[in-house]
Structure 1
Amino acid sequence: MSRAPLIPEQRHQELLRLLRSSGVLSIHELTDRLNVSHMTVRRDIAALEKSGQVVSVQGGVRLAEWVGHAPPRERASRAVLELPRKQAIAETAARLVQDGMVVFLDAGTTCQSVVPFLAARTDLTVVTNDFHAVLALCGLPNVHAIHTGGEVDVSSGSSSGPLAAKAVGALNIDIGFLSAGSWDLAHGVTSHSTDKVLLKQAVMEAASSVALLADSTKWGIVERFNVTSLDRLDTVVTDDGLPPEVVDRIAEEGPSVLRA
């Protein structure tokens, strides 16, 4: 029995998957592998090129040089990746924090990197589901630290799930900093874990303002579960690795874009 035809979004993801394996593919190869017409392949390439994920070459297409790859999920492996980007993003994000605020720091090494930049603030309450971040916060006497508790994920050094989401729901958060291992224009922020989705969405409900901290190496990656579209974010803090046309398209969705 023949396979049902893919919808455009499924074809786009399959096209990107094929390019990640091969680097460059011709139009002819893509029509064979996707089982569609030349015109359909060209339309798909045009859509992906508009979002900055691929680049047309003579007779074919390749991945844009900066398109991201899914980072490792183990904390120790992620901690040593893209340190200059993380530090720059963290320093820029910390400028959004004012004295007296209640701040949420999501799990992850980028959000943890914000902690040292909060040392000059006074009367802060910082809420986090990250065990490494809460230990770092213990060294800041001007910060009242709250850990959400919840289901422990040893590999990421954090917790999430319904118990963590309930703790967040009991708080009035001024600004919530969300992390992301995968984000793009079509899907927004996505995650491999429903527990993490639940917590991130609880933060969005509890926070007056939501800022996504995500570097350009994670752009163009899609995980199984949707967290939020980009138009529900107030701010995106990223690095200078995204092309200007991609930054413009993110801003068109609604959030302010700060490039570290």
Structure 2
Amino acid sequence: MSKNLMADERRSLLIEYLTKHQRATVKELSLELQVSEATLRTDLNLLEEEGILRRIHGGAVLVAQQQVVPAGSSFSFSAREKKNTDEKAAIGQKAMDFLQEGQCIMIDASTTALELAKSLKRTQIKLTVITSGIYTALELKDNPYLHVILIGGVLRMGSGAIEGTLGAGILGEVRADLLFTSPAGFKPDSGLMDFNVYEVELKRRMVESADRVVALIDSTKFNVGSIASYAQSGKIHDVITDTGTPPEMIRQLEESGIRVSTVRAQR
């Protein structure tokens, strides 16, 4: 394993190891990830502050939140769905401009992507839609113009997403024209990030199976870190955001070759 892992990738691997083994010592993790014990203690302290693990003498254990997201948690689908609703709706509506007859598109399980599904609900554009979102699939199921494919996997309490890669084999059989995805956070040096390591791996595969990646990012998510990156900035082709995003961030995205569309939320 590389000794030069980026911090978000290292923390993702750390959580994956704890998920498999339930608990681990700092020495054990140092050998597994091939990084210093001092670096690991910094990672563990940060993850404990974020409520993802609990420090114990000489090591750490994963807390239940990472395995099952409680319905009242700020990370749960229902809680996230209530945040920045006007901005998300405007972003979802703008995403409709990217669609053309006969495309195969992928939509992740994010609450922002669900707003795109709500706009798609009555479209007369013929599309194949592949999604990892339970609620997204339910929004689209009655539209005769849409052929909807739900990726199989594990459904966890408090989540609207299919997690894991049990049904991800379909992604190796298709090539999507577009992926619409929304992260928990975005930083230029880390790209699109999410807090759920199970969902991150599926999102990575979705990115690799798409010709074009359209990131739906409301202004509150910029310069916000999370556990693991699933798409570096170089993998992103388009960003749709709202007018609350700082001009310097938009300029930075455009200078890196990303096309940015900005929408105004309707209050």
Using the size of structure 2 for normalisation, the TM-score is: 0.68
The 3-state SS of whatever aligns with 1:220 is coil
Match of 2:178 in 1: 175
Alpha carbons 2:140, 2:148 under 8 Å: kept: yes
Structure 1 vs Structure 2 CA RMSD: 2.2
| Cα distance in 1, alignment partners of residues 229 and 83 from structure 2 | 25
Alpha carbons 1:192, 1:223 under 8 Å: kept: yes
Match of 1:196 in 2: 199
1:135 aligns with 2:152: no
Q: Could you list the runs of 5+ residues in structure 1 that have no partner in the other structure?
A: 18-70
| Cα distance in 2, alignment partners of residues 184 and 82 from structure 1 | 19
1:255 aligns with 2:245: no
| Cα distance in 2, alignment partners of residues 169 and 199 from structure 1 | 12
1:161 to 156, 161, 164: 164
Amino acid at match of 1:214: I
Q: Could you list the runs of 5+ residues in structure 2 that have no partner in the other structure?
A: 1-36, 50-72
1:101 aligns with 2:103: yes
| Cα distance in 1, alignment partners of residues 241 and 193 from structure 2 | 16
Match of 1:24 in 2: none
Cα distance, 1:85 vs. partner?
Answer: 0.2
Cα distance, 1:120 vs. partner?
Answer: 2.6
Alpha carbons 1:230, 1:254 under 8 Å: kept: no
Amino acid at match of 1:169: G
Cα distance, 1:5 vs. partner?
Answer: 9.6
| Cα distance in 2, alignment partners of residues 228 and 87 from structure 1 | 23
Cα distance, 1:171 vs. partner?
Answer: 1.6
1:74 aligns with 2:76: yes
1:187 aligns with 2:190: yes
Cα distance, 1:168 vs. partner?
Answer: 2.1
The 3-state SS of whatever aligns with 1:141 is coil
Count of aligned residue pairs for this structure pair: 197
Using the size of structure 1 for normalisation, the TM-score is: 0.70
Compare CA radii of gyration and give the structure with the larger one: 1
The structure-2 alpha-carbon separation of the partners of 1:154 and 1:171, relative to structure 1 and needing over 3 Å to count, comes to farther
